[in-house]
Amino acid sequence: MRELLGGNPDSVWHSGYVDHVWDKCRQPLEQYLQQSRARRVLEFGCNIGATSVVLARLGMKVDAVDIAPRYIEVAKENASRFGLANQINFTCHADSTALPWPDATFQFITCNSVLEYVPFSILPAVLAELGRVLAPGGILFVAGTSNRLSPVEIHSGRWFINYLPRSFGPAAKDVERGLFPWDVLRRFPGYTQLDVEDQSSTYFSWKAEAGMQPSRRAFLKAIDVVSRPLGLPVGLLVPSFSSALRKPV
């Protein structure tokens, strides 16, 4: 694990990332945990466990899953560093199209900066699995997802790579690209978009607390007034998109 982290146990990807998620994403997590009356929560694609640690710090018992054994080991170290190892159950599971939990297990599921890394060919099956293990009335929160509507891919910083078709061929192989918001939304028919329901109030409270400049918030609010009635709240249109979806009861 030290090799993975460059031999530095204080790397931002080891412990500093937890503080980053706490500062930048705690507010919506707390809000949606309350709304879903969560008793059991899942972080899908937990990577090094930063969001899981934040959920545990908010009082939750957390299940966290990832396909990469090396990240699960670092995630366990992170949880131990914060004294939360007993609150988080980390699972390494290779097949994201067949999750190891019964139907309706979780009242809250979060996917933070992960769905764009799921092979597009299996994305529908993976999203179906998330819907299967989410309880009726539960909330799926997708955050930090690279948006193919953006000319700049947020992870690589490359311009226009998002606009390459997936059938482009060998030149596009293994190139990081985002998802269109509707790649996710269309897999959850009948679910309520909470940003539409609450007129994006949670989204803008979140961004204010996370330090977004007032001028940028005002600009995005102006866009939201036009786009939200069309079913596209502004949280779906920014370079790193987010969406909270409530499953029908």
- Output the domain CATH number for residue 91: 3.40.50.150
The predicted model scores a pTM of: 0.90
List strands edge to edge, sheet with 41-44: 88-92, 62-66, 41-44, 106-112, 134-146, 240-246, 192-193
Q: Is the pLDDT of residue 92 over 90?
A: yes
Give backbone dihedrals phi and psi of 158, rounded to 5 degrees, phi first.
-80, 140
Per residue in 185-201, is it b (16+ CB within 10 Å) or e — as a string? bebbeebebbbbebebe
Q: Is the pLDDT of residue 11 over 70?
A: no
Q: Is the pLDDT of residue 66 over 50?
A: yes
Residue 87 included in any domain? yes
Residue 71 included in any domain? yes
> What is the band of 70 on the pLDDT scale with cuts at 50, 70, 90?
very high
Residue 155 included in any domain? no
Residue 152 included in any domain? no
pLDDT at 7: 45
| Continuous H helices in the chain | 17-36, 50-57, 69-81, 123-133, 181-185, 194-197, 201-209, 214-227
Residue 225 included in any domain? no
Strand partners, 245: 140, 193
Average pLDDT, the chain: 91
Q: Residue 63's closest CA among 31, 110, 24? A: 110
> What is the band of 163 on the pLDDT scale with cuts at 50, 70, 90?
confident
Residue 236 included in any domain? no
Separation between Cα atoms, residue 185 and residue 102, nearest integer Å? 23
Query: Which whole-number Å values give the CA distances from 124 to 186, 228, 234, 239, in the listed order?
Result: 9, 25, 24, 22
Residue 188 included in any domain? yes
Q: Provide the token pair at 173.
A: 């192989």
> What is the band of 1 on the pLDDT scale with cuts at 50, 70, 90?
very low
The tens digit of pLDDT for each residue in 94-125 reads: 999 999 999 999 999 999 999 999 999 999 99
pLDDT at 9: 52
Q: Is the pLDDT of residue 5 over 70?
A: no
SS3 230: helix
Residue 91 included in any domain? yes
Of all residues in the chain, the percent with pLDDT exceeding 90 is: 79
The tens digit of pLDDT for each residue in 170-219 reads: 445 556 678 999 999 999 999 999 999 999 999 999 999 999 999 999 99
Q: Which residues contact 234 (CB under 8 A, 6 or more apart)?
A: 200, 203, 220, 221, 223, 224, 227, 228
Q: Residue 115 is part of which domain span?
A: 12-145+180-193+241-246
- Give the residue, 162 or 231, on which the prediction is more confident: 231
Looking at residue 177, the DSSP 8-state letter turns out to be -
pLDDT at 18: 87
Q: Is the pLDDT of residue 38 over 70?
A: yes
Q: Is the pLDDT of residue 132 over 70?
A: yes
> What is the band of 164 on the pLDDT scale with cuts at 50, 70, 90?
confident
Q: Mean per-residue pLDDT for 229-249?
A: 97
Count of domains for the chain: 1
> What is the band of 14 on the pLDDT scale with cuts at 50, 70, 90?
low
